[in-house]
Amino acid sequence: MSSEAVAPVIQRGSWALTARRLLRDPASIAALGFIVIVVAFAILAPAFEAWTGHSAIAQYRDTGMSAMGLPAAPNREFVFGTDHLGRDVLVRLAFGARVSLLVGVLAALCASVVGVTVGMTAGYFGGRVDSVLSRMMDLVMSVPFLLCALALVSVFGPSLQLSIGVIVFFSWTTMGRVIRGQVISLRRQEFVEAGRSLGAGPLSIMFVDILPNLSVPIIVYTTMMIPGSIVFEATLSFLGMGIVPPAPSWGGMLADAANNSLYLVAWWLVFIPGTALLLTTLAFNIFGDSLRDALDPKGRPRPRAKRKGVQR
Amino acid sequence: MTVLEARNLTVDIPTEDGTIHAVRDVSFTVDAGELFGIAGESGSGKSVLTQAILGLLPTATIAGEVLLEGRDLLALTQHELQSIRGSRIGMIFQDPMSSLHPYYSIGSQITEMIQVHERAERQAARRRVVDLLARVGIADADQRFDDFPHQFSGGMRQRVMIAMALVLNPPLVIADEPTTALDVTVQAQIIALLDEMRRERGTTVLMITHDLGLLSSIADHLMVMYAGRRMEIGPSGPLFSAPSHPYTAGLLASSPANYEAGAELVPIPGRPPSLLETPQGCAFAPRCLSAMAVCTQQAPPLRVYSDGIETLCWLESAPPDRAATAAEAVVPKVDTSSDIVVKAEGVRLAFGGGGLFNRNYRLEVLKGIDLELRTGETLGLVGESGCGKSTLARVIAGLIPMTGGRITLMGHDLSEVDPRTWQTLRKQVQLVFQNPYGALNPRRRIGAIIGDPYRIHAIASGKARKAEVQRLMELVGLNPEHYNRFPSEFSGGQRQRIGIARALALNPALIIYDEPVSALDVSIQAQILNLMRSLQRELRLTYLFISHDLAVVRHVCNRIAVLQAGQIVEMGEAEAIYSSPQHPYTRALLSASVVSPPRHGVSGRQLLHSIEADAA
Amino acid sequence: MIRHLAGRAAFGGLVLLTLSVFVFVLFFVAPGDPARMIAGDKATEAQLIQIRANLGVDRPITEQYFRFLGKALVGDLGFSYRNQQPVAKLIVGRLPATLSLVIGGVLVWLAVGIPVGIMSARHAGGVRDRVGQGFILVGLSFPTFVLGMTSLYLFYFLPRQAGFTLLPGGGFKPFLPNPLIWAWHMILPWSTVALTNAAVYARLTRGQMLEVMGEDYVRTARAKGLSERTVVWKHAMRAALTPLVSQLGADVAVLLGGAIVIEQVYGLQGVGALAVQAVANLDRPIIIGVVLLGGLFIVVTNIIVDIAYVLLDPRVR
């Protein structure tokens, strides 16, 4: 009775296909390569400490500063030079990478979990639940977030946890909106109705029927939130509201450089952490873009996403 | 006089998977003032063909010639093409909802055309447009000139599209599936309007459609396409009375309208080929009931017959009419004493306003529905979009709570059952959905999808579940070895089989089919209808069959209920309704559904000569 | 429609109320004694008590809150702890710099972002698209302060070392008497604000255009025989850019609430810089004032966006 012939085209698994598309794009390979290097750099930070013999917070005023008290330019002992206190920029950069990556990834993951949960709940249940949750997202988006972050930090004092908390609080709404929109359109699909007509409960439908269909936006938007979080953290540190000095962070290093316009005479103080920061966010952005194209080659219309994360 | 002539037109579209050979070596001529029809199923290349003519396919490689009034369109520059589009060729697209710009008023969208091509004075242009809008049946055209597309119904929008296509009096109008997105009764009006306008103005119309029956009453000539090729071309009279190509014959034989009610349909087996490959012989050979050994080895020759028919086929005369020789109609008599599966009494449904800023509106979708279904019968529910038929199905399936009335399912009053009984009752009603692409979760494997009922109701698991699923797959005509595949690897017809298998899993007392075949091509439709019928016979199933297509409903149903604006206006035995409709709405529906003419067999047709295909 | 706008306005009020409660509670639990801040270290305990009574900070929080709310409604935001100036006046004094920055920046970023996005979408997959996408990615990745510092180094410091002044090293000059000097000082801040945002808008425009160019009504426009220019710049643009209005509203609002980093980098005495100083000084009335002002901007722009939407999209009328 099987009258319809089998399609002659062999279908590859969707993940294999994605990987193939990614590897065909030189930009995404370069981006991924750079991300791996930065991660390795962060992990190996203690090794740099041992290799140079310089601690991240120790001040080498004799060897690392000129007689006039100016920081030393990159040289044999200090490969990336020293800062205004005579600290080794290379070692600080390595430890700073830990902060950036940790905050970036952790905040993006937390924001994504919160966003997916809220978005799915709002989208699936609709009605009053949706009204309340959507208003809540509107509310969070209507908050002048950097000002509030400043206010929070000024009250509680700067810390790593607070930085992450602030970033998560102000960036989950992007994910929440995207997921809500997706779930609303998925909920109208007949396969969800089929599940309901078979007697599946809301949890079963949400996790078995809907969640797997959200994997693409979740992966893509989480990846794209990482650079936003990294910049957000750097900005907080730059304004002196992030990581507590003397612990190194890229934003903090740039803030030190900006103080008294020191970087005008010591270019490496901006160039090195600035380049590290720019290339890292660029790599994540490129990778996120390629990931989206690879996972979703047809370029399905993307829901309008309000961008928060980065501020000016 | 020839208005449009295509010579050996070939269109290749590059994609990520390879080159799609959308149109291969197609030639035809369209004479002035005629209505030329192009028919074909999805993937036949008919829409690509017209877009290629208009130069709307920037990425495609197009070979051959397309002569419009003697000028080769393919040799024109973009700029020259622009001056031809609209003024020499008018276009009417399929979906009037999306084909008009949502942000501009309909009047300005039409006058824009006059201004671009003729530099007319504004007031004069407006007067012209208003006159034409009134002519195509827009009431109060002068006021509605400034209205936006969303303020019109689908049929009205299509009238606007027709006005837009005609406003510059082009010699040729191309209508690409102009009525597919519309309701049956509106469809008939639009076709009538199109026919009237072209006679009034002497416009030549090139009409593309998947519905062969639609062309039978209005087309002068037509061309049947399959897999990018011109299978058959000729004057519509002989072509319909004795199709010379097995594919044309198969299409006609697939349509339930050509049968006695209840007869076994003769479908075209299999599915359309991939357009990425070039088969050695005839593209249709794998599905052809008249195929011979030579068909798969060598490209078919062109047969030219005395009555103007030209066919790309190895046969030298028309294939047999299989619909006429089909099995005798068996309309199983429903035992009026058998058990009532479901009974609806005065079912009402109304949606009230909600949300934060409460607007006081109330929408009545169902206004007191009474019906009952007995074991083993099929009740057809017919109506146009928005009449509430799908909503009623969901109310009966318990997916939407009703706001009034009573539904009794297997003796239980649904409004009174406790959740536990409901969970068991729920197994008794299953749904099969319209959209074969939306009804299956794209991220799950077929085995998991069909096995879902077992998982949700914790019935069988592990090996037992797999065995059950494979038994079901076999039952609906799927290869059980495809257990681990994803829905995207199946065709529309196969997906519909998957949907049916899932519905069968729990041995339901009632299966509700919500437009199960309306998204499928005619040839696949017949396969699914046959499957539904054979399953019903074997398993003594009870069906509630929802459709907008009276021909399909009449074919599969014992009884028919006609639904209009949330009310059943007529209900009775299928044949009774078909032969002597009582309600004016039923009559309107019936007269609107186009009926193909019966075939009369070959009438003095002779093979004139054959042109062998090039060996290459 | 009016009902809808009234609803939005009511929601805006709710936002402001929530914000005010948030900052108020935040600073109520915050450490630090405002009286000590005003009077200085040498003040006696009696003086401190007197000051606290004057400020009303010895009252219960609810009473303090409602008294504050009542005054705020008539535009009285209290006095700075630091220099006893009225907060409203301080903020108004800072507005010219912030407004100059935001308005000019918005114009620049729209002028750059939208054309880049359209160019990219029209040549999707081609060289020009790659260039556009590159611009988008770099723009999105550049942290504002890094960009600001780099620009200063390149366009102010290096020319200075070479012996001439290309662009000023920062500071705000009022629009009058000499708009040229004002604009000259704003070139770098505007460009810095614009780059990141231009990237966002280029990306949005590109996505919207790609989507709209595939719509049936664009095909209709082509079939009507319109020139490609009319199809793109009239039919497609209209549909593609309308959704951008809401994004623009949000971005402008956020910027008005405090272009903190830019003001910091370029030494512009704007609202953001005021907020940073206030945070450093724990100057509570100013922080509350600035946060509420930021919220007010967001609420007002949201309502403007809603009205604009009604004018632009006939379907929501």
**Tens digits of per-residue pLDDT, B557-603?**
889 999 998 889 999 888 888 888 899 988 888 887 756 555 556 56
Long-range pairs of B415-422 with CB within 8 A, sequence gap ≥ 24: B422/B398
Interface touch C216/B103, C-beta < 8 Å: no
**Interfacial A residues in 115-144 facing C (CB < 8 Å):** 135, 138-139, 141-144
Alpha-carbon span A254 to A259, nearest angstrom = 9
The pTM assigned to this predicted structure is 0.82
CATH of the domain at A153: 1.10.3720.10
Alpha-carbon span A277 to A226, nearest angstrom = 12
* Mode of pairing for the β-strands spanning B302-305 and B362-374: unpaired
ipTM over 0.85: no
Q: Is C174 helix (H, G, I), strand (E, B) or coil?
A: coil
Alpha-carbon span B449 to C134, nearest angstrom = 43
* Mode of pairing for the β-strands spanning B172-176 and B340-352: unpaired
Interface touch B102/C217, C-beta < 8 Å: yes
Listed residue (B445, B438, B434, B368) closest to B407, CA to CA: B368
In contact, A252 and A237? CB cutoff 8 Å: yes
In the block, tokens 């199905």 appear at B393
**Interfacial A residues in 216-255 facing C (CB < 8 Å):** 227, 231, 234-235, 238-239, 241, 254
DSSP assignment of B356-392 equals TTT---EEEEEEEEEEEEETT-EEEEE--TTSSHHHH
Domains B2-226 and B372-592 share a fold: yes
Q: How far away is chain A from the Cα of B162, in angstroms, using its nearest Cα? A: 30
Residue A3 inside a domain? The answer is no
Residue A302 inside a domain? The answer is no
Residue A33 inside a domain? The answer is yes
Residue A145 belongs to what domain range?
Answer: 20-297
Residue A56 inside a domain? The answer is yes
Give the best residue of B57, B112, B115, B160 to mutate against chain C (max C CB count within 10 A): B112
Alpha-carbon span B237 to B307, nearest angstrom = 9
Cβ-Cβ contacts under 8 Å for B429 (sequence gap 6 or more):
A197, B342, B396, B397, B398, B409, B508, B509, B510, B511, B512
Alpha-carbon span A290 to B373, nearest angstrom = 55
Nearest CB partner across the interface for C141, out of A144, A270, A285: A285
Count Cβ atoms below 10 Å from residue A84 Cβ, excluding itself: 18
Residue A311 inside a domain? The answer is no
Q: Give bridge partners of residue B366 from the DSSP assignment.
A: B349
Chains in contact with chain A (at least 3 beta-carbon pairs closer than 8 A): B, C
Alpha-carbon span B150 to B157, nearest angstrom = 9
- CATH code of B2-226, in short, is 3.40.50.300
Interface touch A194/B434, C-beta < 8 Å: no
Interface touch C279/A227, C-beta < 8 Å: no
In the block, tokens 């934060």 appear at B356
Q: Is A9 helix (H, G, I), strand (E, B) or coil?
A: coil
**C113-C117-C118 Cα angle (round to 5):** 120
Residue A312 inside a domain? The answer is no
For chain A, the domain total comes to: 1
Answer whether C215 touches B (CB < 8 Å).
yes
In the block, tokens 């979708």 appear at B365
Q: How confident is the model at residue B336 (pLDDT cuts 50, 70, 90)?
A: low
| Nearest residue in chain A measured CA to CA from B268 | A3
Dihedral sign of CA atoms B275, B280, B283, B289 in order? negative
Domains, chain C, with CATH or none: 2-86 (no CATH), 88-312 (1.10.3720.10)
Judge residue B579's burial from the number of C-beta atoms within 10 Å of its C-beta, 0-12 exposed, 13-18 middle, 19 or more buried: exposed
Interface touch B486/A11, C-beta < 8 Å: yes
Alpha-carbon span A172 to A163, nearest angstrom = 14
CATH T-level fold of B372-592? Rossmann fold (3.40.50)
List the structure tokens of C255: 């910027």
Give domain limits for chain B.
2-226, 249-324+599-616, 372-592
pLDDT one digit per residue (tens) for chain C, 317 residues? 677 778 878 888 888 888 888 877 877 776 667 777 777 777 778 878 887 777 777 777 788 888 888 887 887 878 887 778 888 888 888 888 888 888 899 999 899 999 999 999 888 878 888 899 899 988 888 888 888 888 888 888 888 888 888 788 777 888 778 888 888 888 889 998 888 889 989 988 998 898 898 888 999 999 998 988 899 989 998 888 888 887 888 778 777 655 788 888 888 888 888 888 887 777 888 888 888 888 888 788 888 888 888 888 887 76
B603: left (phi over 0), alpha (psi -120 to 50) or beta: beta
List the structure tokens of B492: 């529309």
Query: Does residue B148 register a pLDDT over 80?
Result: yes
Nearest CB partner across the interface for C220, out of B78, B100, B150: B100
What is the end-to-end Cα distance of chain C in Å, rounded? 7
For residue B78, list chain C residues with Cβ-Cβ distance below 8 A.
228
**Tens digits of per-residue pLDDT, A189-236?**
888 888 888 888 888 898 888 998 898 889 888 988 999 899 888 888
For residue A11, list chain B residues with Cβ-Cβ distance below 8 A.
485-486, 488-489
Which positions in chain A have a beta carbon within 8 angstroms of at least one beta carbon in chain B?
1-9, 11, 127, 131, 189-191, 193-200, 204, 208-209, 212-213, 215, 297
Q: How far away is chain B from the Cα of A37, in angstroms, using its nearest Cα? A: 33
